Amino acid sequence: MEEDYRTQVKVPKIRIAVVIGKKGATKNDIEAATKCKININVEDQVVSIHGEDPLQIYTVSQIVKAIARGFSPKKAMILLKGDYVLEIIELRILVKKEHMMRVKGRIIGEEGKSRDTIEKLTETMISVFGKTVCILGRTEAVTISKKAILNLIQGSPHSTVYKWLEKKHSELAAMELMPRDFIKEEYRDD
């Protein structure tokens, strides 16, 4: 008999329904793709995950965290690919409460321009939700995206951050570390 591994993820109340999906579709899709079992306690806002493979348990917990932090289930499912990761930046640790809105505004930018630019140059996906900034993408790209966001949080001018990102993008493209088909159609929402 195989050992049963378990973990839990706390999900904000407004994101529980997204984890479940219409008629349980998201929950069922995740279970089918990973062979893990998911139980959702709506009242306590806790998603319990269990199964026989600890790596799959971890992957499911990351997918649930991605959905909980504002990504669509379709985008979060990219974590099923082995070389994709989720990075969560806790703003409440880095920024005083009175500066939170301003810093989030710097990351998002006017009409989403800053976030879009970082996503384009790093080929990642970014969600600014609550007191977190989350990044989904390939490991190398997420590391670069995180550094750019941290620089914005620390007050670096947008133009300086963009220039640095353009340089990094060119370096990765030259080394062929930046995938050309980053988000295939199956993971696109729009």
Q: Which helix (H) or strand (E) holds 84?
A: strand 84-90
Q: Which helix (H) or strand (E) holds 74?
A: helix 73-76
The pLDDT value recorded for residue 104 is 96
* 97-141 pLDDT per residue, tens: 999 999 999 999 999 999 999 999 999 999 999 999 999 999 999
Task: Kindly list the structural domains of the chain, giving each domain's residue range(s) and its CATH number in brackets, ordered by start.
Answer: 5-73 (3.30.1370.10), 84-174 (3.30.1370.10)
3-state SS assignment for residue 117: helix
* 38-51 pLDDT per residue, tens: 999 999 999 999 99
| Vertex 20 angle, CA 16 and 25, to 5° | 160
Q: How far apart are CA 17 and CA 180, in angstroms?
A: 33
Mean pLDDT for the stretch of residues 153-172:
92
Q: How far apart are CA 46 and CA 10, in angstroms?
A: 5
Its pTM stands at: 0.87
